[in-house]
């Protein structure tokens, strides 16, 4: 069977009325799941250049090999989706669950696992319903599936937190090593993978590495699911080819509702980029790296000119500080101090020199936690101080009257109203 030409790929066959794709729909679009030899599948994923879509951007084949060479492996689908604005995993699990399940079955085969654990957030009712409905009609899968529902907290989706939780502990990160691929679920080597990564792997297994590379760029092959939200007419999850100009991403989401001042690229561990600069970039690691950012878990937030970037950043950094798992001093106290100082700048009650202290603190919290939480938060606030620098001075003398945008802070993933598939 030949793969879809152009786009959509992952979202091929998605029903516009919001109903899930049945097994028959799924087979009509993608055919039956072809059993693939473990080494052959890992090789195809390697040649395809697939990288993890949960935020860490790690080469998937390398992780598969690391688990495959150990014994008694397990597979965990990390469907925690703790990035507040992200909706892609919810879209996949609730509307096209068979593609994710195919990927999980294939990944389990590749690493020699007989058990797949699907870890979701407690509020992920639609995702759970989608997966349960899909499992009820599948037969012949050579693995058993289990579910685990964990707290909807930001750091609960970090892989060591997922493993700790599945092993009966709190959903908080643990010191690594050992990493999950060495010792994870029940002490076994564990492959932790994001649902989109698994769905992409299911397509590669069917259509091959060459097909995967037909779109995208040499360095960033294939397509990605991007949740586009904020000041756009049709916020939602969009499948786009790597290499697509960011301006086309916004156009796919209906265009902006007002002139933009900045884009937050990569979610709350991401980076604010001035709109004029961001609109000249493409969706590629190389372009994003040139302005110090990465796609993270695929969230893009557009900030209109009528909003106050400083206030919005102060809200988000307060949220991130409150989401610290409370285990590492620099993270707990450092992020709290950074949140307080940012609030002071936003309210205009702190001296502009506070910015220098803030920058010192961000450099001091970096790399000082058991997980990447302080690093992500530091990156976020450093970019805010740079991009909204003029606002800091302005807030010293003027009362800010901008209306809060209400960026999502925690809880289950937002409803996905629009899911459009644009050719890239
Ligand atoms: C604070 C924090 C939260 C995270 N939350 C998620 C999440 O909700 N879902 C996810 O897939 N990965 C999340 N990650 C990344 C995971 O640790 C891990 O890299 C990922 O699940 C691996 O799958 P992938 O290789 O398919 O991306 C998070 C990482 C950090 C540091
Ligand atoms: S760095 Fe922060 S979020 Fe990560 S484990 Fe330590 S206290 Fe928890």
In the chain, what are the domains? 23-212 (3.40.50.11540), 309-397 (1.20.1440.230)
Which pLDDT belongs to residue 424?
A: 28
Question: Which atom of ligand 2 sits closest to the CA of residue 323?
Answer: 3
Residue 105 pLDDT > 70, yes or no?
yes
Phi-psi region of 60 (alpha: psi -120 to 50; beta: other; left: phi over 0): alpha
Average pLDDT over residues 380-387: 96
What is the sign of the dihedral through the CA atoms of 143, 123, 299 and 382? negative
CA-nearest of 413, 341, 326, 313 to 373 is: 326
Nearest CA to ligand 1 atom 3: 158
403 Cα–ligand 1 center, Å: 32
User: Does residue 320's CB lie within 6 angstroms of at least one atom of ligand 1?
Assistant: no
Note the pTM of the prediction, 2 decimals. Answer: 0.95
What is the sign of the dihedral through the CA atoms of 97, 98, 100 and 105? positive
The CA-based diameter of the chain, rounded to the nearest angstrom, is 68
Nearest CA to ligand 1 atom 28: 158
User: Does residue 184's CB lie within 6 angstroms of at least one atom of ligand 1?
Assistant: no
CB 123 within 8 A of CB 82: no
User: Does residue 121's CB lie within 6 angstroms of at least one atom of ligand 2?
Assistant: no
Question: Which atom of ligand 1 sits closest to the CA of residue 53?
Answer: 27
* Tokens (6 digits) for 234: 């049709």
At 91-102, the pLDDT tens digits run 999 999 999 999
CB 95 within 8 A of CB 420: no
> Three-class SS of residue 402?
coil
Strand pairing partners for 301?
A: 229, 264
CB 193 within 8 A of CB 76: yes
In this structure, what are the phi and psi dihedrals at residue 233, rounded to the nearest 5 degrees?
A: -70, -35
Query: Among the residues of 96-245, which ranges form H helices?
Result: 97-111, 125-137, 159-166, 195-207, 209-212
Which pLDDT belongs to residue 421?
A: 41
Q: Which ligand is nearest to the CA of 366?
A: 2
Distance from chain centroid for Cα 56: 9
User: Does residue 190's CB lie within 6 angstroms of at least one atom of ligand 1?
Assistant: no
Q: Which ligand is nearest to the CA of 371?
A: 2
User: Does residue 12's CB lie within 6 angstroms of at least one atom of ligand 2?
Assistant: no
Question: Which atom of ligand 2 sits closest to the CA of residue 327?
Answer: 7
| Calpha distance 331→321 (Å, rounded) | 8
The three-state DSSP-derived secondary structure of 228-288 is: EEECECCCEEEEEECCCEHHHHHHHCCCECCCEEEEEECHHHCEEEEHHHHCCCECCHHHH
Which pLDDT belongs to residue 207?
A: 95
Average pLDDT over residues 49-72: 96
Nearest CA to ligand 2 atom 4: 371
Nearest CA to ligand 2 atom 1: 369
323 Cα–ligand 2 center, Å: 9
DSSP-derived letter for residue 332 is I
Q: Which ligand is nearest to the CA of 412?
A: 1
Which pLDDT belongs to residue 417?
A: 59
Residue 411 pLDDT > 80, yes or no?
no
Which pLDDT belongs to residue 182?
A: 96
Strand pairing partners for 232?
A: 256
| Calpha distance 263→250 (Å, rounded) | 10
Q: Which ligand is nearest to the CA of 118?
A: 1
> Three-class SS of residue 300?
strand
Q: Tell me whether strands 260-265 and 271-274 are parallel, antiparallel or unpaired.
A: antiparallel
Residue 413 pLDDT > 80, yes or no?
no
Angle at 294 between CA 174 and CA 252, to 5 degrees: 125
Mean pLDDT taken over the chain: 93
User: Does residue 51's CB lie within 6 angstroms of at least one atom of ligand 1?
Assistant: no
């Amino acid at each position: 069977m030949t793969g879809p030409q152009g786009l959509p790929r992952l979202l091929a066959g998605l029903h516009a009325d919001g109903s899930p794709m049945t097994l028959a729909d799924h087979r009509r679009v993608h055919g039956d799941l072809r059993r693939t030899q473990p080494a052959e599948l890992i090789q195809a994923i390697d040649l395809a250049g697939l990288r993890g879509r949960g935020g860490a951007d790690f080469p998937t084949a390398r992780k598969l090999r690391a688990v495959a060479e150990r014994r008694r492996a397990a597979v965990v689908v990390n469907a925690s989706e703790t990035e507040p604005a992200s909706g892609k995993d919810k879209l996949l699990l609730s509307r096209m669950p068979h593609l994710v399940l195919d990927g999980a079955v294939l990944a389990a085969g590749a690493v020699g696992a007989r058990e797949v654990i699907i870890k979701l957030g407690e509020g992920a009712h639609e995702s759970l319903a989608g997966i349960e409905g899909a499992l009820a009609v599948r037969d012949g899968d050579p693995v058993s599936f289990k579910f685990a529902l964990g707290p909807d907290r930001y750091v609960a989706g970090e892989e060591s937190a997922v493993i700790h939780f599945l092993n009966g502990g709190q959903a908080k990160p643990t010191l690594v090593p050992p990493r999950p691929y060495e010792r994870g679920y029940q002490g076994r080597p564990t492959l932790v993978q994001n649902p989109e990564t698994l769905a992409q792997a299911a397509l590669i297994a069917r259509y091959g590495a060459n097909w995967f590379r037909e779109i995208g760029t040499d360095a960033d092959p294939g397509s990605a699911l991007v949740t586009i939200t904020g000041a756009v007419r049709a916020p939602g999850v969009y499948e786009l080819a790597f290499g697509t100009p960011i301006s086309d991403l916004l156009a796919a989401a209906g265009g902006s509702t007002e002139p933009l001042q900045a884009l937050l690229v990569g979610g709350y561990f991401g980076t604010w980029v001035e709109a004029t600069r961001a609109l000249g970039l493409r969706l590629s690691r190389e372009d994003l790296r040139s302005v110090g950012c990465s796609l993270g878990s695929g969230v893009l937030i557009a900030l209109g000119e009528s909003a106050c970037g400083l206030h919005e950043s102060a809200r988000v950094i307060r949220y991130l500080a409150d989401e610290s798992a409370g285990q590492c001093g620099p993270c707990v106290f450092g992020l709290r101090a950074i949140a307080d100082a940012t609030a002071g700048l936003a309210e205009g009650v702190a001296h502009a020199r506070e910015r220098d202290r803030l920058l010192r603190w961000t450099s001091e919290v970096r790399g000082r936690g058991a997980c990447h939480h302080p690093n992500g938060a530091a990156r976020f606030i450093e970019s805010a101080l740079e991009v909204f620098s003029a606002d800091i001075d302005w807030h010293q003398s003027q009362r800010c009257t901008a209306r809060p945008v209400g960026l999502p802070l925690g809880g289950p993933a937002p409803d996905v109203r629009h899911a459009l598939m644009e050719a890239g």
